[in-house]
């Protein structure tokens, strides 16, 4: 599959680019995190230590098992909510990339219960809907965080077979079969939510039909569409001086 790293080193390098692209697009703040399944051992995944995504380098990428243990034994502090990555990978063999972010565009939907609907062509991958996770209770962890494995398991169950899940009062989790696909999907979710919310402030928005959405998916999530977007964003990193080095 195009866009899926073939080696551990390639996955590290691609993950650094995904971090920086998502930041530059305004989709990932300093508290978010993105991971990729280890192509050499699918029972593990790659994730930076708890560093702001803008500054992640290949040397910062660690290897974790699905229970969130740092197999690199780096001694560096991990992300507090890393459990959500492992539990999604455990529940979804088809998923090879995960991002947790706090895009303002998705927050109103998680807070109000208004369903996200695919209303623009680039939002077609969400035509089946985006569920909301609202089961944060844990006796050892207060607040709207996903810290424990049990919280993460409940979140992964709420995600189900969908491409994204909203976290009430917190943000969202988006998944993909490759890192480039993940970035495209996250970008598309943001745009779709912005357009839907703005439109429905005026009048009900007409969503895509199932047939329209499936037709758009063949383009949006096909190799040509994913490659075109990813390669453009990579070149923009170079031009902007954001290239890791």
Q: Across the chain, what does the average pLDDT equal? A: 96
Of all helices (H) and strands (E), which one includes residue 212? helix 210-220
Please determine, for residue 36, whether its predicted confidence score (pLDDT) is greater than 80: yes
Joined together, the tokens standing for residue 77 give 């502090």
Distance, CA of 24 to CA of 48 (rounded, Å)? 18
* DSSP state letter for 87: H
Domains recognised in the chain with CATH numbers: 8-240 (3.40.225.10)
Is residue 138 within 8 A of residue 148, CB to CB? The reply is yes
10 is catalytic: no
pLDDT score, position 223: 86
Helix, strand, coil % in the chain, rounded to nearest 5: 45, 15, 45
Render pLDDT for 97-137 as a digit per residue (tens, 0 to 9): 999 999 999 999 999 989 999 999 999 999 999 999 999 99
- Half-sphere exposure of residue 166, counting CA atoms within 13 Å on the CB side? 25
pLDDT score, position 8: 97
Mean pLDDT of all residues in 192-218 = 93
End-to-end Cα, the chain, rounded Å? 28
Render pLDDT for 155-172 as a digit per residue (tens, 0 to 9): 999 999 999 999 999 999
Torsion angle of the four alpha carbons 29, 69, 2, 220, in this order, in degrees rounded to the nearest 10: -40
The model carries a pTM of 0.96
Q: Which of 81, 142, 200, 231 is catalytic?
A: 81
pLDDT class of 93 with cuts at 50, 70, 90: very high
SS (H, E, C) 92-154: CCCCCEEEEECCCCCHHHHHHCCCCCCCCHHHHHHCCCCCEECCCCCCCCCCCCCCCHHHHHH
Distance, CA of 143 to CA of 112 (rounded, Å)? 18
Joined together, the tokens standing for residue 169 give 């009062």
Integer angstrom CA distances of residue 115 from 85, 170, 182 = 24, 16, 21
Distance, CA of 22 to CA of 18 (rounded, Å)? 6
Mean pLDDT of all residues in 193-216 = 94
pLDDT class of 243 with cuts at 50, 70, 90: very high
Closest CA to 179 of 50, 43, 5: 5
Quote the distance between the C-alpha of residue 56 and its chain's center.
Answer: 16
Sheet strands side by side (includes 61-65): 61-65, 44-48, 33-37, 97-101, 171-176, 164-167, 132-133
pLDDT score, position 220: 77
pLDDT score, position 218: 84
Please determine, for residue 19, whether its predicted confidence score (pLDDT) is greater than 90: yes
């Amino acid at each position: 599959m195009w866009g899926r790293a073939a080696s551990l080193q390639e996955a590290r390098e691609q993950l650094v680019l995904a971090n920086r692209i998502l930041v530059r697009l305004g989709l990932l703040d300093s508290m978010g995190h993105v991971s990729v399944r280890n192509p050499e051992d699918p029972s593990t995944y790659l994730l930076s230590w708890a560093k702001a995504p803008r500054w992640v380098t290949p040397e910062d990428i660690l290897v974790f098992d699905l229970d969130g243990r740092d197999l690199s034994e780096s001694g560096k502090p991990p992300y507090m909510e890393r459990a959500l990555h492992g539990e999604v990978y455990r529940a979804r063999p088809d998923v090879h990339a995960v991002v947790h972010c706090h895009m303002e565009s998705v927050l109103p939907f998680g807070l109000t219960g208004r369903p996200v609907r695919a209303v623009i062509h680039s939002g077609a991958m969400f035509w089946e809907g985006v569920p909301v996770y609202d089961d944060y209770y844990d006796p050892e962890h207060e607040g709207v965080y996903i810290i424990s494995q049990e919280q993460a398991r409940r979140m992964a169950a709420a995600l189900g077979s969908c491409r994204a899940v909203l976290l009430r009062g917190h943000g969202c989790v988006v998944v993909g079969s490759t890192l480039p696909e993940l970035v495209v999907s996250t970008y598309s979710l943001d745009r779709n939510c912005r357009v839907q919310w703005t439109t429905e402030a005026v009048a009900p928005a007409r969503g895509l039909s199932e047939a329209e959405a499936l037709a758009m998916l063949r383009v949006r999530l096909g190799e040509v569409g994913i490659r075109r977007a990813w390669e453009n964003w990579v070149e923009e990193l170079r031009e902007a001086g954001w290239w890791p080095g």
